[in-house]
Structure 1
């Protein structure tokens, strides 16, 4: 049972990292190469679509990591799992405090109603997102290492 929990946790967190990495380094660069209106509309649509899915994915990843930590308490590698889960907590806190407020505004923007500083707000979201991706990669790495311990 513990082996299945490890695998499911690593797969779910790994897919989360992959999606968020793709947003940061592929999708946003594609959108950035589009004309201004298309860029902004694409980001708004992505914000609505992923904004609806990500809370479940982030919390689900955290619950799985926490369950793994509890299930293997006092076994080798538990510290790695706990630290990985702690980084997932940090990613959720970063999301709620830094990224979600910008996303909640930007997902409603159209070329007709967007604020004059929409690009600056999008750039700020991107910077916060890069930091969150780094935290997620670290969490995934620790969980993967714990599976080998």
Structure 2
């Protein structure tokens, strides 16, 4: 049972980290190369789509990791699991305080109602997101290290 939980948690968190990495280093650079209207539409659509899914994914991942940590408490690698959990929690706090407010504004923008500084706001979101991705990658590395 514990092995299945470890695998499921690792896959769930690993895919989440991959999605966030892809947003930072693949999708948003592609969007930024598009004309302004298409760039803003793509970012708004992504904000709506991922903004709806990611809260469940982040919280669910943290819960799964918490359950795994509880079952493995006292075993070798527990400290790594606790560290990964702390970093996942940090990424959630960062999301709520820094990224979600920008995303909530941007997901409703259109060519007709976007503010003059929309690109600056998207660049700010990107900078915060790079930091969040780094935190998530380290959390995933700790999680992977706990497996071995």
Bin of the TM-score, shorter chain as denominator length = over 0.9
Work out the CA distance in 2 between the residues paired with 1:132 and 1:110.
Answer: 26
Gaps of 5+ in 1: none
Query: 2:17 maps to what in 1?
Result: 17
5 Å-filtered alignment, 1:84-99, equals 84-99=84-99
Query: 2:3 maps to what in 1?
Result: 3
Deviations 1:14-53 (A, max 9, x none): 0001000000000001101100010001000000000000
Deviations 1:71-100 (A, max 9, x none): 100111000001001100000000000000
Gaps of 5+ in 2: none
Work out the CA distance in 1 between the residues paired with 2:91 and 2:21.
Answer: 14
Question: How many residue pairs were aligned?
Answer: 148
Deviations 1:118-141 (A, max 9, x none): 000000000000000000000100
Normalising by structure 1, report the TM-score: 0.98
Normalising by structure 2, report the TM-score: 0.99
Work out the CA distance in 2 between the residues paired with 1:81 and 1:5.
Answer: 13
* CA-atom RMSD in angstroms: 0.5
The question of 1:33 aligning with 2:33 is answered: yes
Work out the CA distance in 1 between the residues paired with 2:4 and 2:146.
Answer: 14
Work out the CA distance in 2 between the residues paired with 1:36 and 1:94.
Answer: 27
Query: 2:79 maps to what in 1?
Result: 79
Q: Secondary structure in 2 aligned to 1:90? A: helix
In the TM superposition, structure 1's runs of 4+ consecutive aligned residues that sit over 2 Å from their partners are none
